[in-house]
Structure 1
Amino acid sequence: MKIIPPSYEILDALDQQGLAVRIEFSGRICYKSEDKIDKDSALPFVSKMAEHGHNSVLEMGVVSLRIRYPEPDMLAELYATQPRYLQIDTQAENTLLVTGSVRAFREMLIFHPGCRLVQGMSAFLAERHPYFFATIIPEGGFQDQPGMIMSKVRLHEIDKLPQPLRLKHRHLAVKFIVNRAVTHEIVRHRPCSFLQESQRYCRYADNKFGGEVTFIKPMFYGDGTPEYRLWHQAMAETEQLYLKLLETSTPQAARTVLPNSCKTELIVYANLQEWRHIFRLRTTKAAEPSMREVMIPLHQELTG
């Protein structure tokens, strides 16, 4: 049995990487298969995710586009599709700033292939990232959109936007190592994207996990107190039950005895506007203490 403190890591440098690298890094958290990452692993990984429709993983790659469209009714046509999970702002006459995840752009093409702006965005992205769109390109290919001008907006450009736009279009990923009680609360936030270590697939009896279960040290009980000793005893007994069940059961069956104190890794990806909302809720005195234990220092680090 291993006991560790909670922690977090700001993954801002990850956004400096290409879409495929970002998505692979985040996706492998679920299976704790980061050891399989190498210089050639990203494209096969994301291609497989796209092919099998593992859409939550594809939310971990966000891209911003600047679009100049020639006909005013194109915008009304786009809004008529009720676009999900795309942040759309007008920057100038007939010019849009659109930010969304790979999943959001893929689903727009799947459900609204006739929309001209969707066709233009999809064609632009598919040319640069074909592995995300190979299985969903419309029969006959994309239609030409004369007069539509599109470009990718780089991260340093997003950071120079006026504050109201930057808050909506700048995304930030944070990896938390916390107990499952904390993650149960974090994943209620919208709009955010989440990927979490899976007890269904992770077999903690394996050597890669040291053959043991890892627990997060509870902030409620001081070392050596009667309460801490009871908690420690409960975790030790639970670990033995879990390992015993693994002798005849799958991880998804054995995990049913694991408690909230289990360590888990969770990547949270959201725009700065939503992070502000998270901090407003999760750093107050009314917030759950274990949540405040990580959210307060994270907020302080991000705000300087």
Structure 2
Amino acid sequence: MKIINPYTEILTPLDGQAILQHIELCGRVCYKSEDKITDTSASKFVAGIIKRGHEAVLEHFDITVKFVCDRGVSHEIVRHRMASYCQESTRYCNYSKDGFGGEITVIRPFYLVEGTEGWQYWKEACWTAERRYFELLNWGCTPQEARAVLPTSLKTEVVMTANLREWRHFFKLRTAPAAHPQMREVAIPLLHQMRSQVPVIFDDIDGE
């Protein structure tokens, strides 16, 4: 059994200024103010539409992100209906095969300290689930049948494509103090990464 930390990867090449200029080009059609586009007007225009709540304009650019997280966190991610998804399938992936190293991979629960009783309880539970999963496969179950015993901590990969408006909605919900701690563990660093690559769009979202 392999234990890893969760992480995210932005799959869309991002040019922040080009994104703002694209949003401005689309949005100015609403006001027929294309003649006001300059080399430096995009940031102010986009900040203005966000301040006025005219966020439909932000739907004109999509970003794709890969999440590597546990199955529990993935269930929260896919609840965002205004997005498209591809997810590692426990129906078709057979973790006993060489392509997976003949073992399952689980996500380290950051709230448990290695060496404590709590950590040991969690590790033993995951190890037992792995062993029973392989035993079911050997007994004759298919991967989609044997997966019934796999733990929520099982690593999964989810590719999410959403427009900028939906990403704003995602970050407002998933970085909030009330969000699940393991959801915040991946959402907050992702927000910071997006902020660093795409100016203006996410500046008003606290994410702390």
Normalised by the length of structure 2, the TM-score is 0.75
1:189 match = 80
1:89 Cα deviation from its structure 2 partner: 7.8
1:48 match = none
> What is the aligned-residue RMSD (CA, Å)?
2.6
2:91 touches 2:144 (CA, 8 Å); kept in 1?
yes
Residues 36-91 of structure 1, C-alpha deviations (whole Å, 9 max, x = no match): xxxxxxxxxxxxxxxxxxxxxxxxxxxx9xxxxxxxxxxxxxxxxxxxxxxx9893
1:166 Cα deviation from its structure 2 partner: 5.4
2:59 touches 2:165 (CA, 8 Å); kept in 1?
yes
1:246 counterpart SS class: helix
2:69 counterpart SS class: strand
Between the two proteins, the alignment pairs up a number of residues equal to 169
1:233 match = 124
1:92 Cα deviation from its structure 2 partner: 6.8
Alpha-carbon distance in 2 for matches of 1:238, 1:298: 31
2:8 touches 2:190 (CA, 8 Å); kept in 1?
yes
Structure 1 portions without partners, runs of 5+? 15-63, 65-87, 94-158
4+ residue runs over 4 A deviation: none
Alpha-carbon distance in 2 for matches of 1:90, 1:9: 32
2:29 match = 91
Residue type matched to 2:3 in 1? Answer: I
1:12 match = 12
2:82 touches 2:162 (CA, 8 Å); kept in 1?
yes
Normalised by the length of structure 1, the TM-score is 0.52
Alpha-carbon distance in 1 for matches of 2:28, 2:63: 22
Taking the TM superposition and a 5 Å limit, the aligned residue runs for 1:78-117 are: 91=29
1:185 counterpart SS class: helix
1:259 Cα deviation from its structure 2 partner: 1.3
1:12 counterpart SS class: coil
Alpha-carbon distance in 2 for matches of 1:167, 1:9: 21
2:178 counterpart SS class: coil
Residue type matched to 2:174 in 1? Answer: R
Residue type matched to 2:4 in 1? Answer: I
1:168 Cα deviation from its structure 2 partner: 1.3
1:219 Cα deviation from its structure 2 partner: 1.5
Larger RCO, structures 1/2 (Cα 8 Å, 6+ apart): 2
Residues 234-257 of structure 1, C-alpha deviations (whole Å, 9 max, x = no match): 011110000111111100000010
Bigger Rg over Cα: 1
2:13 counterpart SS class: helix
